[in-house]
């Protein structure tokens, strides 16, 4: 498709691939929180994670 300059097909494939990767990462994050109860979403602006930055 690239060599035939069919840019809408290439753009659609890139958007579809990117969407699938983002959704896969979201599902993995949610499943990590379900499987491991130590991982929870923190609410608030400060974070309080104890990082050294």
pLDDT in tens, 19-28: 999 999 999 9
Supply the mean pLDDT for the chain.
82
- Number of separate helices (H) and strands (E) present in the chain: 1, 0
Residue 50 domain-assigned? Answer: no
Contact predicate 12/6, CB 8 Å: no
> pLDDT class for 45, splitting at 50, 70, 90?
low
Q: Dihedral through CA 2, CA 25, CA 45, CA 42, nearest 10?
A: 180
pLDDT at 3: 79
Residue 7 domain-assigned? Answer: yes
pLDDT at 25: 97
Domain range for 32 is: 1-39
Q: Which of 15, 34, 12, 33 is nearest to 23 (CA)?
A: 15
The residue with greater pLDDT, 3 or 14, is: 14
- Count of domains in the chain? 1
pLDDT at 42: 67
Residue 13 domain-assigned? Answer: yes
Residue 20 domain-assigned? Answer: yes
Long-range contacts made by residues 1-9, C-beta under 8 angstroms, separation at least 24?
Answer: none
């Amino acid at each position: 498709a690239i060599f035939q300059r069919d840019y809408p097909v290439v753009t659609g494939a890139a958007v579809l691939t990117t969407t699938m990767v983002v959704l896969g990462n979201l599902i993995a994050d949610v499943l990590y929180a379900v499987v491991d109860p130590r991982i929870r979403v923190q609410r608030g602006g400060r974070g309080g994670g104890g990082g050294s930055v």
